[in-house]
Chain A
Amino acid sequence: MKILNLLSKITFVIAVLFSFTLSLSAQSVDEGKTLFNANCTACHAINDKVVGPALKDVSKRREEAWLLKWIKNSQAMVKSGDPIAVQVYKENNEGIMTSFEQLSDVQIKSILAYVKAESEAPAAAPVANATADAATATTASNDGDWKSMINWLLFIIVALLVFIITQVFSILSRIGDIQGKPVVNWNQLNSVLLIVFLVVGMGAIVWEFSAHSKHTIFNYGPASAHGAEYDDMFMITLVLTGVVFVITQILLFWYGFKYKSDGKRKALYYPDNHKIELLWTVVPAIVLTVLVIRGLIVWNDMMYPKEQNGRKIEIFAYQFGWNARYAGVDNKLGAHNFREVGVINQLGVDTNDVNAYDDVVTNELHLEVNQPVDLAFRAKDVIHSALMPHFRVQMNVVPGLPTKFSFTPTVTTNEMRTKTGKPTFDYVLLCNKICGSAHYRMKMKVVVDSKEDYKKWMSSQSVLVANKTANKAVALN
Chain B
Amino acid sequence: MSDHNTHHNHEEHEHHEDNFISKYVFSMDHKMIARQFLITGIIMGTIGMLMSLIFRLQLAYPNMTFPFLEGIIGHWGKDGKLDPNFYLALITIHGTIMVFYVLTAGLSGTFSNLLIPLQVGARDMASPFMNMLSYWFFFLSSAVLIISLFVDGGPASAGWTVYPPLSALPKAIPGSGTGMTLWLVAMVLFIASALLGGINYIATVLNMRTMGMKMTRLPLTIWAFLVTAILGLLSFPVLLGGSLLLIFDRSFGTSFYLSEIVAEFAGGIERTGGSPILFQHLFWFLGHPEVYIILLPALGITSEVIATNSRKPIFGYRAMIGSILAIGILSFIVWGHHMFITGMNPFLGSVFMLGTLIIAVPSAVKTFNYLATLWKGNLKLTPAMMFAIGLVSFFISGGLTGIYLGNAALDIELHDTYFVVAHFHLVMGSAAIFGMMSGIYHWYPKLFGRMMNETAGHIHFWLTIISAYCVFFPMHFMGLAGVPRRYYANTAYDQFNVFVDMNEFITIAAILGGVAQLIFLGNFFISIYKGKRAPQNPWNSNTLEWTAPVEHLHGNWPGEIPHVYRWAYDYSKPGAEEDFIPQNIPDAGQTDPMEESTGLPVASHATTSAHAVA
Contacts and interface: CB of A to CB of B under 8 A. Distances in A.
Interface of A: 48-50, 93, 144, 147-148, 151-152, 154-155, 158-159, 162, 165-166, 169-170, 172-173, 184, 186-187, 189-191, 193-194, 197, 201, 204-205, 208, 212-213, 215-218, 230, 233-234, 237, 240-241, 244-245, 248-249, 251-253, 255-256, 259-261, 265-273, 276-277, 280-281, 284-285, 288, 291-292, 295-296, 298-300, 302-304, 319, 338-339, 341, 377, 381-383, 385, 387, 389-390, 392-396, 398-404, 424-426, 428, 430-441, 443
Contacts of B261: 338, 381, 399-400
Nearest to B61: A148
Given A208-B474, A396-B341, A399-B261, A261 B371 contact: no
Contact of A303 (B265, B346, B490): B346
Contact of A271 (B313, B346, B473): B313
A241 B401 contact: yes
Interface stretch (B138-146, B182-190, B235-243, B493-501): B493-501
Given A212-B474, A261-B311, A280-B368, A249 B484 contact: no
Interface in B172-229: 172-174
A194 B492 CA distance: 41
B511 interface: yes
Q: Which of B275, B317, B484, B499 has the most CB of A within 10 A?
A: B484
A67 B302 CA distance: 65
B581 to A, nearest CB: 11
Interface string B367-382: 1111110111111110
Interface stretch (B21-29, B31-39, B45-53, B390-398): B390-398
A299 B346 contact: yes
A386 to B, nearest CB: 10
B424 interface: no
Contacts of A173: 453-455
Nearest to A216: B480
A446 B377 CA distance: 59
A443 B492 contact: yes
A50 B84 contact: yes
Contacts of B281: none
Interface string B497-523: 011111011001001100110010000
B312 A241 contact: no
Interface in B456-480: 456, 458-459, 462-463, 465-466, 469, 473-474, 477, 480
Contact of A237 (B173, B404, B512): B404
Contacts of A230: 409-410, 412-413
B340 to A, nearest CB: 8
26 contacts: A48-B81, A49-B81, A144-B501, A162-B463, A166-B459, A172-B455, A190-B381, A197-B466, A217-B413, A217-B481, A234-B404, A237-B403, A252-B371, A252-B392, A253-B389, A267-B572, A272-B316, A302-B409, A389-B482, A400-B274, A403-B343, A426-B494, A432-B484, A433-B416, A437-B83, A440-B490
A396 B343 contact: yes
Q: Which of B270, B364, B367, B573 has the most CB of A within 10 A?
A: B364
Given A151-B508, A270-B312, A213 B492 contact: no
B102 interface: no
Nearest to B519: A166
B24 to A, nearest CB: 31
A285 B360 CA distance: 8
Given A186-B458, A230-B413, A260-B381, A267 B482 contact: no
B315 A270 contact: yes
| Contact count band on B | 35 or more
B397 to A, nearest CB: 7
A14 to B, nearest CB: 23
A290 to B, nearest CB: 10
A165 B172 CA distance: 51
A269 B377 CA distance: 9
Contacts, number: 366
B172 A212 contact: no
A191 B381 contact: yes
B492 A440 contact: yes
Q: Which of A233, A277, A385 has the most CB of B within 10 A?
A: A277
Nearest to A295: B407
B346 A304 contact: yes
Contacts of A255: 371, 374-375, 377, 379
A271 B453 CA distance: 32
Interface string B150-173: 000100001100010110010011
A364 to B, nearest CB: 16
A269 B400 CA distance: 30
Interface of B: 61, 81, 83-85, 88, 153, 158-159, 163, 165-166, 169, 172-174, 258-262, 265, 270, 272, 274-277, 310-319, 341-343, 346, 349-350, 353-354, 357-358, 360-361, 364-365, 367-372, 374-381, 386, 389, 392-393, 396-397, 400-401, 403-404, 407-410, 412-413, 415-417, 453-456, 458-459, 462-463, 465-466, 469, 473-474, 477, 480-482, 484, 486-490, 492-495, 498-502, 504-505, 508, 511-512, 515-516, 519, 569, 571-574, 579
A392 B413 contact: yes
Given A383-B166, A404-B343, A292 B354 contact: yes
B344 to A, nearest CB: 9
A286 to B, nearest CB: 10
Contacts of A291: 357, 403, 407
A255 B416 CA distance: 36
Contact of A276 (B85, B258, B372): B372
B472 to A, nearest CB: 12
Given A186-B454, A216-B480, A394 B341 contact: yes
Given A151-B504, A169-B459, A431-B484, A159 B574 contact: no
Given A50-B84, A187-B380, A230-B409, 13 more contacts: A166-B455, A173-B455, A186-B458, A215-B481, A234-B410, A252-B396, A259-B374, A268-B376, A272-B315, A277-B369, A281-B365, A396-B342, A401-B259
Contacts of B315: 270-273
Contacts of A261: 311, 378-381
Interface of A is mostly: helix
Nearest to B463: A162
Contact of B258 (A296, A400, A424): A400
Nearest to A165: B459
B165 A382 contact: yes
Q: Which 7 A-B pairs have the closest CB atoms?
A: A400-B259, A389-B482, A403-B343, A303-B346, A400-B260, A216-B480, A267-B378
Contacts of B85: 93, 436-437
B488 A437 contact: yes
Given A147-B501, A389-B482, A269 B571 contact: yes
Nearest to A265: B378
A437 B392 CA distance: 38
B158 to A, nearest CB: 7
Given A266-B572, A441-B492, A252 B378 contact: no
B455 A213 contact: no
B192 to A, nearest CB: 28
A156 to B, nearest CB: 10
Contacts of B508: 151-152, 154-155
B159 to A, nearest CB: 5
B567 to A, nearest CB: 9
Contacts of B372: 270, 273, 276
A156 B67 CA distance: 21
Contacts of A187: 379-381
Given A252-B389, A400-B272, A295 B408 contact: yes
Nearest to B404: A237
Given A194-B389, A271-B315, A440-B488, A284 B364 contact: yes
B371 A251 contact: yes
B547 to A, nearest CB: 22
B515 A159 contact: yes
B174 A93 contact: yes
